[in-house]
Structures are given as structure tokens and as C-alpha cells.
Amino acid sequence: MQEPEAEHTFKGNLSVLDVVMITASGVTPASSIFVIAPLAIASAGSGAFLSFLVAALVAAAIALCYAELGAAHPSAGGEYSIIKRLFGTLCGLQTYLFILSASLFVPAVLATGAVPYLNTALGTHFDASTAGMLTVLVGGACAIFNIKANALLTGAFLVVEVAVLALIAWLGFSNPHQSGEILAAPVMLDLQGVLSPVSLPPIVAMVGVALFSYNGYGAAVYMAEDMREQGKPMALAIMLTLFIVVLVELVPFTALLIGSPSLSEMARQADPVGYVVTQLGGATLARVVSGAIYLSVFNAIIAIVAQFSRMMFSSGRDGFWLPAVNRALKIIHPRFGTPWVATLLFGVPSALLAFCSNLGDLTSFTVILLLLVYIIMAIAALISRRRRRFHHPYLMPLWPLPVVIALIACLYVLWTISIASSLKDFIIIAGIVCFGLTLSYMRGRQPAPLAEPTPEGE
């Protein structure tokens, strides 16, 4: 195979820890606690704890699929490159469009949702759309810089984020107002405003929401070509990221439930987490925590743009677009060693979406797309090991049990969500599929292997 041109390759100077810091920052655990957890509490009461616990087990099975596949097929294209390699260009392109559609507006939604916390911390009244756009633009600009510098920056922010979550955990566990029974025998407000036992359906329904809050650990695969060593180190990065994410989300979430002075009052609050922090730590601490939430979102935007710009780079390298677009996406900054054009083409549209995005836009169709990608990756984990021409430096334990668990769980959650989804969700997904088919027809089928470094032993 002809060697890739120097200007179209990465420097490969990231360690496992660097990748973990960037990837965990993209998950933004603090935002999951302050944005996703309140939705789960409102829908399932203290039963949300069981939802997050079950989701952690399912996420572990999914992460094992990502770990084996990421080690065997290292590429900046991540999931779509893996799927393309195993099932062909059309399937790879469709996977790419699913991921891109779900991820493009996430920075805008996170940023606009974080502006109220910035206003609380500073006592200001910034417009959510304008401040959100500027947040994405500045975060995206930071993503252009050297990836090693970004790893250090996101790592520093991640330390602050984890410290705040640790503080919340300490507040809750050191000031317990509820017994552990609310976790094993969960309760929630009924229609009469009285705490009553939670039935199983709401708990199961919130497993999908909890999976979404953990989502992002698999994004480590986009950093494969930036790593000093590939193979098992990639698998380690994915599993270590998931462990950190689950730990720093589940522990403070549990502490908030245990430390809540009143579960009834907590359930009535628009910001139940802020209510508990204010009650246990005071208004000043609540402002400090609000500032930390905004910083965690800014940190997440840097990580998200850095990750998905590499996926866009890889799509140009694989010739998914028109020739001029492909050439632009493949350009690597001569000084920083990053795909700066791909970074701009991802970051700028996402920033502009701040003017038409809000937290309500994070609708069920995004979760449906996420589950579809998980299902595709689980099927790939079944197929890849049977393709003997691919070297697998990391093999998941108890294969294929984790794959089967991931498949069954994702299919069940997908079925549950689909029943409650609106027609609009299916129209959007159908539009994405039609666009993929049209683009594939225009560009023609490309069965050739990816233009990427060949894994050792293949």
C-alpha cells in the first residue's frame, strides 16, 4: 500500500491518559448530572438510581464492543470506518451520517443550556443564543491547537469538574436526610403530589436517558491515529474512560438523592440538583458550582469538536464528498498537526445552531440514532472476530456474551422509545437514510479498503 502523504497524517503523540482526558471531557459528566439527571428524577423519582445502575452495566457491554473493534481497526473515522471496513462503503456512509446528525448540534445545545449557569455564577444576563454561539466558537478555535495541548487543557478542566462532583458527593453523603431504602424501594411523586412506590416501566424508560448521559466513551476511537501506540492501548482508553464516567456520575447522583432534605420538594423543582446544593451548601457554593458547570461544558465543546473534526477528516480521506471538499477536509495544520479545515466545518455550523437550538431540541430521535449506532457496532463485534484477515490485538472477555447483552438491551430500549416517538422523528431518520443513499449513488460504490495505516499483523 502506498504510504499516506505527510500533510494528511497525524503526529501520533498522545498517551492513553491523554486520550482518556479528552474523551471523558467530551462526555462532560457534570452536565449529565445537572441536565440529564433532573429529567430522570422527574420521570422515575429515586428509581432513576436503578436506571443509571442498569445503564452502566449495558454501557460496559457496549464499551467492550468498542474496545475490541477500536483496537482491531484504528482509524480517525471511528465507528463509520470500522463499519465501512467490515460491511462496505454504503453502510459506513450511513453510519457516518447517523453520527454526524446526532453530534452536530450537541455543542450548541450544551452551550445554550450552560449560559443560565454562567449568568447565575456571574450575576449577568447574557442572551443564551449569542453567548452560546460565542462559547462554541471559542471552544472550536481551541480545538485547532496542538492535540497534546488540548489534552492538557481538557485534562485540567476535567480535574475541576471532577472536584466539583466530588464536593457534591461529599455534601450529600455527609448530610444524609434519606435512608438507603429509597434506592432499593424507589419512590416518586404521584398525580396527587404524594410520594408513592415507582413501578417498573418508568425505571426501564429512563435506562435510555441514562445511556445517553454516559455516551461518549466510545469517541476515544477517533483519537486512534493520534496515539503513540495502537491496539490494546486503545481498548484500555475506552474502558478506563467508561469507568471514570460512571464513577463520577453515579456516585454524586446517589449522594444527591440521599442528601436531599425533601424528596417531594426536590421533585417539584425545575433544578432539583441546584436545590439540593443550595440547601446543603448555601447560595454562595451554588454560584461556584454553577460556574464550574459552565466551564465543564466549555471543556466538553473543545473535546467534542476535536473528536468529530477527525471523523470529518477521515470522511474526506475516504472520498465521501465532492473532490474539492475531500481535499479541504484532509488538510492538516503544518504547525499544530490538526485537521483545521474539518474543525472549522464542524465548529462553525454547530455554533450557528445556537440561534435555533435549545435543550428541547435534544429529542428522542437523537437517542434513536445513538441506539442504532450501538446496534450496528454490536453486530460488527460479532462479525469482525470471524474475519481472520483482521488482527485483533484485544479480545473482550466472555465473547460473545457482552455483545448479546448489548444487542438485546439496545433493541429493547429502541423498541420502547420508538413506541412513544413522534412521526417527526421517523421522518428525520428517513431523510438521513435517503440522503445517504443519494450521496452513495452520486459518488458510486467504493469497495476499496480505507486509506489508513494497516494494523500490525494483518
Residue 195 has phi, psi (to 5 degrees) of: -70, 125
Over its length of 458 residues, how does the chain's per-residue pLDDT go in tens digits? 343 444 455 556 788 988 898 888 878 787 777 777 887 888 888 999 999 999 999 999 999 999 999 999 988 788 988 999 999 988 988 999 998 888 887 888 788 878 888 888 888 899 888 999 999 999 989 888 877 777 777 778 788 888 888 999 999 999 999 988 999 999 988 777 788 899 888 888 888 888 988 988 888 888 888 888 877 999 999 999 999 999 999 999 999 999 999 988 888 887 787 788 889 999 898 888 888 888 888 888 888 888 888 888 888 888 878 788 888 999 988 888 888 999 999 999 989 888 875 555 555 677 888 899 999 999 999 999 888 888 899 999 999 999 999 999 999 988 887 887 778 788 888 999 999 888 888 766 444 444 444 444 44
SS3 189: strand
**Do 171 and 277 meet the contact criterion of CB atoms below 8 Å apart?**
yes
Closest CA to 275 of 267, 345, 149, 405: 267
Domains by residue range for the chain, with CATH? 23-302+342-443 (1.20.1740.10)
Q: Is the Cα dihedral 310, 19, 40, 132 positive or negative? A: negative
CA 131 to chain centre: 23
Dmax over CA atoms of the chain, in Å, equals 70
Whether 298 and 157 have beta carbons less than 8 Å apart is answered as yes
**Which residue is it, cell 429529542?**
363
pTM, entire model = 0.83
